[in-house]
Amino acid sequence: MNGSPMQEARWAVRQAAQRLTGEAPALTAGCAEALQAGLATRAAELKEAVVAAWRTGARPEDLAEDARMDLDAVRAWLLCAGEGR
């Protein structure tokens, strides 16, 4: 991708959200522990991408849309990361 840092960070959020939702069906085919570990890993990647995008100046409202998440959940992640305002 060859855009601004914010555009690239928001693209990373969309990709992380897609991985989380796209891999969930495959993860359910395994054991419960694998499912839990896989979903936790993908959720952590999404959270990291959201926080990184926030640091480039992206608005929480845009990040919630990119991540296909509730705005309050995105704001909670940002507060946990010490980034919420």
Domain that holds residue 34: 5-80
Q: Give how many domains the chain has, as a whole number.
A: 1
Q: Where are the beta strands (DSSP E) in 1-85?
A: none
53 falls within a domain: yes
Task: Kindly state whether residue 51 falls inside one of the protein's structural domains.
Answer: yes
49 found inside a domain? yes
Give the C-alpha separation, 12 to 51, whole Å.
11
Does this model's pTM top 0.75? My answer is yes
Confirm whether 56 is domain-assigned.
Answer: yes
**What's the confidence (pLDDT) of residue 9?**
98
Q: What is the pLDDT of residues 3-52, one digit of tens each?
A: 899 999 999 999 999 999 888 777 777 788 888 888 899 999 999 999 99
Residue 28 lies inside a defined structural domain of this protein = yes
Interatomic CA distance for residues 66 and 53, integer angstroms? 10
Residue 85 forms part of a structural domain: no
Query: Does residue 32 fall inside a structural domain?
Result: yes
Number of C-beta neighbours around residue 60 at 10 A: 19
